[in-house]
Structure 1
Amino acid sequence: MLSLVIPAYKREQTVVKNLKAVEKALKEYPHKYEIILVVDGMTDRTFEKAKTVKSKNIRVFGYKKNQGKGHAVKLGMSKARGDIIGFMDAGLDIDPSGILILLNFMKLHEADIVVGSKTHPDSEVKYPLYRRLISLGGRFVTQFLFGFSVLDTQVGLKFFKRKVAKDVFPRLLVKKFAFDIEMLAVANVLGYKKIYEAPVRLNFEFGNITYSSLIVVLLRTLWDTLAVFYRIRILKYYRKSNRRNWLK
């Protein structure tokens, strides 16, 4: 069985359309599947709109206060019943038809983790030059600090074997910025080396965020990334002796 977690925040205008698009893509999957939507803060009608989608394969969870993507994904993972568990960003900048490509990569390579990657030679990516430069800078930082084999950590489409997810996600502390980086860093610390990148089709929509807000996001991401490095190298936090529960 496949479980796909979708964290959503302020998506009342698009959540119904996007859920239907994801389910349409998964109908091509030859095994059972479930879609777990987690509403990360009930500040609008995203939860109510999602509940109107009638499907036995869709489950909707939510909570009142916005906690961040990491918190929402962890909650969804704790509810997942699949042998393969993944997550996908709610905005659908990524074409959902690419989900099956990642799942085929998992089977082909017997992978522990497969991540969507803008750097894969078969990816079709449309996003601004400044975003490319930001990605390049982020890639340099993560390679320098963690020595990742993965070139692109930030695409919001990733799949895990169930055992890997159960090992990795209880240890994660980052709720918002650098969540994906911490996740892959912890997997690396725990010895999961069969991590593969797969192509995606991505049409990035920047939305209404200002450049000042962007700078804040970048700085907080850098801070969280350095905190992950500190926990790995100095505190040795992610070792088995420090294992945490799924959610407090």
Structure 2
Amino acid sequence: MKNGSMARITIVLPAYNEADKLEIAVEEVRKEMSKYFSEEDYEIIIAEDGSTDGTDVIARNLAERYDNVFHVHSDERLGKGRAILNAFRQSKGDVLVFMDVDLSTDISHLKELIDLTQNYDFVTGSRLLKDSETERPFKRDFASKGYNFLVRLLLRSKLKDHQCGFKAFRRKAFFKVVEHVKDNHWFWDTELMILAQRMGYRVKEFPVRWRQGERSKVRFRDMFYMISSIVRMFLK
């Protein structure tokens, strides 16, 4: 990665086969951040996870175009959690953010997400709070609500939504907790948020506007894996 001054904020965009979305996402994040911060205040890291559709080429070109955009490439598929963690380990920010490349969460919430880390260690957008505005197919909505109900019931979480791909962390707190996380993929951030609560960190969720992306990489068979992950964490 390029050398540079210490950025206060790191924004990670996990990208696996996102050739049609990545450049739009980077440009939108830069546009939103420019309203409140200088380019020296933040960095964008593209955590490109073994893509096969040319996402790696797009990511490399974006990193060459902008001084505060970086490309972290993996030849092998790491999984969502490990790819994000790998990028955070190479980051400079005191505030660590990750968000989905499809920009399902309205990007106008980005400043609010970052600002909440002034008072909380772990912050997540929520699609399931009273004031949240969500557009998604019934089957996806039903599955998500069922999953989050099980997490609250079995793992005693106080959060309504554990999977929203719009989260921010204070750096020191994040690295204290993440070393205890076992999962590397879709259950990664659920486990992270559960452990943060158990370890006594300040955790906050806030309502967001959210719409289902054109295609979701979470398949229904992944739900069985996530349910088994809940049971694994409950039994340990």
After TM superposition, the structure 1 = structure 2 runs for residues 15-34 of structure 1, keeping only pairs within 5 Å, are: 15-30=22-37, 32-34=41-43
Say yes or no: does 1:129 pair with 2:138. yes
Q: For the residues of structure 2 that align with 1:171 and 1:106, how far apart are their CA atoms?
A: 21
Q: What is the alpha-carbon root mean square deviation over aligned residues?
A: 1.8
Whether 2:108 is the aligned partner of 1:100: answer: no
SS at match of 1:39: strand
Alignment of 1:73-152 (within 5 A): 73-107=84-118, 110-152=119-161
- Between 1:197-206 and 1:34-43, the stretch displaced more is 197-206
1:7 and 2:14 correspond: yes
3-state DSSP of counterpart to 2:141 = helix
List runs of 5+ in structure 2 lacking aligned partners: 1-7
> Normalising to structure 2: TM-score of the pair?
0.89
2:205 matched to which residue of 1? 197
User: 1:243 aligns to what?
Assistant: none
* Equivalent residue for 1:67, pick from 56, 67, 78: 78
Question: Match for 1:4: what amino acid?
Answer: I
2:108 and 2:93 mapped to 1: Cα distance?
20
Contact 2:155–2:230 under 8 Å retained in 1: no
1:202 partner amino acid:
W
Counterpart amino acid of residue 226 in structure 2: T
Matched, 1:219 2:224: yes
Q: Which runs of 5+ in 1 are unaligned?
A: 235-248
**Large movers: runs of 4+ above 6 Å:** none
> What is the distance in 2 between the residues matched to 1:74 and 1:168?
12
**1:43/1:64 contact within 8 Å kept:** no
Letter in 2 for 1:196: K
